[in-house]
């Protein structure tokens, strides 16, 4: 895809406990479209996928970093420049679900910045080992005012939908200018402007 061949560019950051399948999720989504793994040696990697929504080309950059598990939670500084967060847990791992409030606590304090947060319960292909019921997760995400989706990176279930839905929401947010004008940063004097129309030279 050519570099300027898109109408929107969004940067999405993945967070969540170790082993919940963050990396697989993205790989599945971008499968075959962008060679991932280049950044594996430097502790950060990203994948790109361009989707078309209502005739508009939306380029999604999905970023992931190595070693998140060493953090009990990730602080705002990590995602303050992201347009959206995908918070992932493993439905077969109660512990990963129980950690969510810890992750969210930091995000909530950041809520004024309008970062879109999506909660993803991964590994639904392992339904027989499910430890967190869908209802429970939905109630939780509702209480947190988050979009919730269950996926299987392995089977590709809902993966496409996840990113498409996210792209839609990002566009709509962008249209409302919330992304551009409403973002206040935690640090004073931090002129934040998330430009979703930036031209990046990704090939």
Binding residues for Mg(2+): 23, 41, 64
Could you count the other beta carbons within 10 Å of the beta carbon of residue 129?
11
Q: Judged by CB, which is closer to other proteins: 69, or 139?
A: 69
Q: How far is the CB of 66 from other proteins (least distance, A)?
A: 5
Q: Judged by CB, which is closer to other proteins: 45, or 150?
A: 45
Q: Judged by CB, which is closer to other proteins: 72, or 135?
A: 72
Binding site for other proteins (CB under 8 A): 11, 13, 21, 23-24, 27-28, 31-32, 35-46, 61, 63, 65-79, 81-83, 106, 109-110, 153-156, 186-195, 198-202
Q: How far is the CB of 135 from other proteins (least distance, A)?
A: 25
Pairing type for strands 8-16 and 44-53 reads unpaired
Give the separation between CA 16 and CA 19, rounded to whole angstroms: 9
SS (H, E, C) 62-117: EEEECCHHHCCCCCHHHHCCCCEEEEEEECCCHHHHHCHHHHHHHHHCCHHHCCEE
Q: How far is the CB of 140 from other proteins (least distance, A)?
A: 23
Hey, is 144 helix, strand or coil?
coil
């Amino acid at each position: 895809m050519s570099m300027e061949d898109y109408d929107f560019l969004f940067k999405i950051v993945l967070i969540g406990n170790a082993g919940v399948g963050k990396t697989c999720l993205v790989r599945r989504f971008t499968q075959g479209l962008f060679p991932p793994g280049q950044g594996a040696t430097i502790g950060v990697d990203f994948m790109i996928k361009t989707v078309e929504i209502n005739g508009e080309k939306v380029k999604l950059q999905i970023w992931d970093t190595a070693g998140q598990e060493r953090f009990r939670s990730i602080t705002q500084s990590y995602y303050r420049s992201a347009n959206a967060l995908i918070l992932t847990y493993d439905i077969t791992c109660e512990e990963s679900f129980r950690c969510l409030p810890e992750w969210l606590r930091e995000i909530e304090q950041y809520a004024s910045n309008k970062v879109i947060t999506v909660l993803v319960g991964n590994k639904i292909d392992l339904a027989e080992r499910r430890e967190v019921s869908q209802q429970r997760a939905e109630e939780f995400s509702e209480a947190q005012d988050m979009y919730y989706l269950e996926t299987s990176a392995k089977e590709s279930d809902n993966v496409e939908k996840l990113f498409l839905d996210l792209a839609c929401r990002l566009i709509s947010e962008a249209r409302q200018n919330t992304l551009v004008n409403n973002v206040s940063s935690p640090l004073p004097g931090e002129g934040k402007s998330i430009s979703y129309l930036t031209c990046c030279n990704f090939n």
